[in-house]
Amino acid sequence: MSNLITEGWEEFTLTCGICKGTFSELADPSRIARHWAGEMVQDVWTEANDDYREFMIAVRAKFSNPNDNMGYVNANTMEPLWVCGTKHNDCWTKVFGSDEEE
């Protein structure tokens, strides 16, 4: 049985550049189009958490225009680089540090 809320949504899969874990997310095609046309991710997915927004930024970098990697490039593969957040073992925090005050 399909979910009526996400019916027609596109599924994207990315691999973390650190742990090599593979993760998938669904996205509404009309919102994808807005983001790929230049609208800021926080304005398109106002209700989304940081992990989802970072995922959508990487999706844009990988799928919207292969020549526009937006600075997210794995130097070894020249693929857009995405680092998973809290979904796995928090590679993001290991690489970039925590946003929380200590």
pLDDT value for 82: 79
In a domain, 61, yes or no: yes
Range of the domain at 28: 10-96
Give the number of domains in the chain.
1
**Residue whose entry in the numeric block shows the structure tokens 């304005």:** 43
In a domain, 1, yes or no: no
In a domain, 74, yes or no: yes
Q: Is the pLDDT of residue 49 over 80?
A: yes
In a domain, 54, yes or no: yes
Considering the entire predicted model, what is its pTM? 0.75
pLDDT value for 72: 53
In a domain, 39, yes or no: yes
In a domain, 71, yes or no: yes
pLDDT value for 22: 87
Give the DSSP letter of residue 16. Answer: B
DSSP string across 22-86: EEEEEE-HHHHHHHHTT--HHHHSTT--HHHHHHHHHHIIIII-TT--TT-B-TTT-SBPB---T
